[in-house]
Structure 1
Amino acid sequence: MEIARPIPAQNGLAAFQPSRAILASRVSRLNPLIRASSAATQTLAIESSSTTTTTQIHLSNLEKLLQKQTPPLLQYNSQPLDKDSGNGSSREKRFRNLFEGLNLEKILPEMKAPEEMMSPRHMNRLQRLLSKSPEYSPRNNLGSRWREYHGCNDWAGLLDPLDENLRREVVRYGEFIQAAYQTFNSNPATSDDKAPLPRQVSLPDRSYNVTKSLYATSSVGLPSWVDDLAPDISWMTQRSSWIGYVAVCDDKREISRMGRRDIVIALRGTATCLEWAENVRDVLERIPGEENSSQIQPAKVESGFLSLYKTPGSNMASLAKSVVEEVRRLMDLYKGETLSITVTGHSLGAALALLAADELSTCEPEMPPIAVFSFGGPRVGNRAFANRVSNNGVKVLRIVNSQDVITKVPGMFVSEELDQKLRENAKVAGVVNVLDNMPWAYSHVGTELRVDSKMSPYLKPNADVACCHDLEAYLHLVDGFMASDCPFRANAKRSLARLVDEQGSNVKKLYISKAKDLRLNLDNLQAVTIPSCLPSPS
Structure 2
Amino acid sequence: MWREIQGCNNWKGLLDPMDSHLRKEIIRYGEFAQSCYDSFDYDPHSKYCGTCKYQPSHFFDKINMLKKGYEMKRYLYATSNINLPNFFQKSKMSNVWSQHANWMGYVAVATDPEEIKRLGRRDIVVAWRGTVTYLEWIHDLQDILHPAHFRDDPNIKIETGFFDMYTKKENNCHYASFSAREQILAEINRLIEKYQGEELSITITGHSLGAALALLSAYDIAGKSITKIIPISVFSFAGPRVGNLKFKERCEELGIKVLRVINVHDKVPTVPGISYAHVGAELALDHHRSPFLKPNSDLGCAHNLEAHLHLVDGYHGKVRAFRSATGRDVALVNKDSSFLKEEYGVPPFWWQDENKGMVRTSDGQWVLPERPVIEAHPPDTAHHFQQVLKLARARLNLP
Shorter-chain TM-score: which interval? 0.7 to 0.9
- 1:367 deviates by 4.3
**Which letter does structure 2 place at the counterpart of 1:244?**
G
Task: Pick the structure with greater CA Rg.
Answer: 1
Partner-residue secondary structure (3-state), 1:393: coil
1:324 to 2:157 alignment: no
Residue 201 (structure 1) aligns with: 59
1:507 to 2:365 alignment: no
Residue 332 (structure 2) aligns with: 498
1:305 to 2:162 alignment: yes
Identity %: 42
**Which letter does structure 1 place at the counterpart of 2:297?**
A
1:13-36 C-alpha deviation (Å, 9 max, x unpaired): xxxxxxxxxxxxxxxxxxxxxxxx
Evaluate the alpha carbon distance shift between residue 254 and residue 324 of structure 1 in structure 2; reply closer, same or farther with a 3 A threshold: same
CA distance in 1, matches of 2:207, 2:333: 17
Partner-residue secondary structure (3-state), 2:328: coil
User: Which consecutive unaligned segments of at least 5 residues does structure 2 have?
Assistant: 357-399
- 1:240 deviates by 1.6
User: Which consecutive unaligned segments of at least 5 residues does structure 1 have?
Assistant: 1-144, 413-440, 530-538
**Aligned ranges 1:29-40 → 2 under 5 Å:** none
1:281 to 2:135 alignment: no
- 1:209 deviates by 0.6
**Which letter does structure 1 place at the counterpart of 2:267?**
V
- 1:183 deviates by 2.0
CA distance in 1, matches of 2:69, 2:20: 21
Residue 456 (structure 1) aligns with: 290
1:405 to 2:267 alignment: yes
Partner-residue secondary structure (3-state), 1:231: coil
**Aligned ranges 1:458-537 → 2 under 5 Å:** 458-489=292-323, 493-504=327-338, 506-512=339-345
CA distance in 2, matches of 1:163, 1:222: 37
1:246-293 C-alpha deviation (Å, 9 max, x unpaired): 0000011110111000000001113799x9399433411111145764
Residue 420 (structure 1) aligns with: none
- 1:235 deviates by 6.8
CA distance in 2, matches of 1:197, 1:370: 28
Residue 395 (structure 2) aligns with: none
1:360-388 C-alpha deviation (Å, 9 max, x unpaired): 00222514100000000001011110111
**Which letter does structure 2 place at the counterpart of 1:300?**
K
The answer as to whether partners of 1:381 and 1:443 remain within 8 angstroms in 2 is: yes
- 1:149 deviates by 0.5
CA distance in 1, matches of 2:256, 2:68: 27
**Aligned ranges 1:134-533 → 2 under 5 Å:** 145-185=1-41, 200-202=58-60, 204=65, 205-220=67-82, 231-232=92-93, 238-270=99-131, 276=137, 279-290=140-151, 293=154, 298-313=155-170, 314-315=173-174, 316-364=177-225, 366-412=228-274, 441-489=275-323, 493-504=327-338, 506-512=339-345
- 1:179 deviates by 1.2
- 1:234 deviates by 8.5
Between Structure 1 and Structure 2, which shows a larger proportion of strand residues?
A: 2
Partner-residue secondary structure (3-state), 2:259: strand
The answer as to whether partners of 2:313 and 2:326 remain within 8 angstroms in 1 is: yes
CA distance in 1, matches of 2:19, 2:73: 31
**Which letter does structure 1 place at the counterpart of 2:19?**
D
CA distance in 2, matches of 1:269, 1:222: 12
CA distance in 2, matches of 1:233, 1:484: 52
Evaluate the alpha carbon distance shift between residue 266 and residue 468 of structure 1 in structure 2; reply closer, same or farther with a 3 A threshold: same
* TM-score normalised to structure 2 length: 0.76
The answer as to whether partners of 2:241 and 2:271 remain within 8 angstroms in 1 is: yes
- 1:497 deviates by 1.6
**Which letter does structure 2 place at the counterpart of 1:179?**
S
CA distance in 2, matches of 1:380, 1:364: 23
Partner-residue secondary structure (3-state), 2:261: strand
Partner-residue secondary structure (3-state), 2:322: coil
The answer as to whether partners of 1:190 and 1:241 remain within 8 angstroms in 2 is: no
- 1:299 deviates by 1.1
Give the RMSD, CA atoms, in angstroms. Answer: 3.4
**Which letter does structure 1 place at the counterpart of 2:208?**
S
* TM-score normalised to structure 1 length: 0.57
